[in-house]
Chains A and B, each alone.
Chain A
Amino acid sequence: MSRAPVYHRRMLLRTKLRALSALTCLFASIVALAGHDNIEVDPAFKRYAGLVTALGRPDPEGRIYSFQAVQGGPARTKYVPDELRGWRLTVLAGKRFAAVFEVQANTESEITVTPLDGPVNGLAVRDVFVVENIAVTR
Chain B
Amino acid sequence: MKLGVLRVALVCLIACAPAAIAQGARIPSEVVDAFHAALRNKDTAGALSMLDRGLVVFEFGAVDPTVEAYAFQHLPFDMDVAVATRWQLETRRVGGEGNERWVLSTYRVTGKQADGTPIDQTTLETVILRRTGELFRIVHFHWSTNDPAFQARAQGQRSKSQAR
Interface residue ranges, A against B (CB under 8 Å): 26-27, 29-45, 47, 49, 72, 88, 90, 92-93, 97-100, 128, 130, 132, 134, 137
Interface residue ranges, B against A (CB under 8 Å): 42-45, 48-49, 53, 59-65, 67-69, 71-74, 76-81, 83-85, 109, 111, 113-115, 119, 121, 145, 147, 150, 153-155, 157-158, 161-162
Complex-state Cα separation, A92 to B121, whole angstroms? 30
- Within the complex, what minimum Cβ distance (angstroms) separates A102 from chain B? 12
Whether the Cβ atoms of A35 and B157 lie closer than 8 Å is yes
Q: Can you report 23 residue pairs joining A to B where beta carbons are below 8 Å apart?
A: A26-B68, A26-B69, A29-B65, A30-B64, A30-B69, A33-B62, A33-B64, A33-B65, A34-B64, A34-B69, A35-B155, A36-B154, A38-B154, A39-B111, A41-B113, A43-B80, A44-B79, A49-B73, A90-B44, A93-B72, A100-B44, A128-B68, A130-B71
Residues of A near B76 (CB, < 8 A) are 43, 47, 49, 130
Complex-state Cα separation, A128 to B111, whole angstroms? 32
| Contact flag A30-B72 (CB < 8 Å), given A37-B60, A90-B48 | yes
Which residue of the partner chain, among B43, B63, B68, B78, contacts A92 with CB atoms under 8 Å?
A: B68
Whether the Cβ atoms of B44 and A132 lie closer than 8 Å is yes
B162's nearest neighbour on chain A, judged by CB, is A32
A29's nearest neighbour on chain B, judged by CB, is B69
Whether the Cβ atoms of A38 and B45 lie closer than 8 Å is no
Complex-state Cα separation, A34 to B65, whole angstroms? 10
Residues of B near A90 (CB, < 8 A) are 44-45, 48
Whether the Cβ atoms of B74 and A42 lie closer than 8 Å is no
A129's nearest neighbour on chain B, judged by CB, is B72
| Contact flag A35-B60 (CB < 8 Å), given A40-B113, A49-B72, A90-B44 | yes
Whether the Cβ atoms of B84 and A41 lie closer than 8 Å is yes
Given contacts A92-B48, A128-B71, 8 further A-B contacts (CB under 8 A): A26-B68, A26-B72, A30-B69, A34-B69, A36-B154, A39-B119, A42-B84, A98-B45
- Within the complex, what minimum Cβ distance (angstroms) separates A100 from chain B? 5
Complex-state Cα separation, A61 to B79, whole angstroms? 38
Complex-state Cα separation, A119 to B62, whole angstroms? 36
| Contact flag A98-B69 (CB < 8 Å), given A37-B60, A38-B121, A39-B81 | no
- Within the complex, what minimum Cβ distance (angstroms) separates B107 from chain A? 12
Residues of A near B157 (CB, < 8 A) are 35-36
Whether the Cβ atoms of A37 and B147 lie closer than 8 Å is no
| Contact flag A42-B64 (CB < 8 Å), given A49-B72, A92-B71 | no
Complex-state Cα separation, A132 to B83, whole angstroms? 15
Complex-state Cα separation, A72 to B72, whole angstroms? 9
- Within the complex, what minimum Cβ distance (angstroms) separates A138 from chain B? 11
Residues of B near A137 (CB, < 8 A) are 43
Complex-state Cα separation, A39 to B72, whole angstroms? 19
